[in-house]
Amino acid sequence: MTNHTSKYWISTHEAIPIQTRMILNEYLLSLKLANKAETTISKYRSILERFCSECLVPLSSLTSKDVLKWVNKFSIGKKESTMIIILSILSSFFKSCLAEDLWIVW
């Protein structure tokens, strides 16, 4: 029997609302199915869990201004190279959500 924690592509972060976690897990699974490296998926999961648990705006009303506010707060003290990675991860996630016609309202 497989231990749930060994499924690195599944978020179990309890501070993330269930519906948001389902969307996040669908996205992470798509990365796994696209044969992305475990370390890549784990990094994406970590950053997206942080965003989804810290950005307090409900996903049904999330706007680009809300994302920018979180990014500005998160970026304090971070290197430019780190922020490029963070923005790339967020962009990939949001593009996927838009392509699937999910919750994001721009």
Q: Tell me: the pLDDT tens digits for 65-78?
A: 999 999 999 999 99
Angle at 100 between CA 87 and CA 3, to 5 degrees: 75
Token pair for 32: 């796994």
Greater confidence (105 vs 18) lies with: 18
Share of the chain above pLDDT 70, in %: 91
Per-residue pLDDT, 4: 47
What pTM was estimated for this model as a whole?
A: 0.87
Whether residue 57 contacts residue 49, with contact meaning beta carbons closer than 8 Å, is answered with no
User: What are the counts of helices (DSSP H) followed by strands (DSSP E) for the chain?
Assistant: 4, 0
Q: Is the pLDDT of residue 35 over 90?
A: yes
Q: Which residues contact 39 (CB under 8 A, 6 or more apart)?
A: none
Label residue 97 by pLDDT band (50, 70, 90). confident
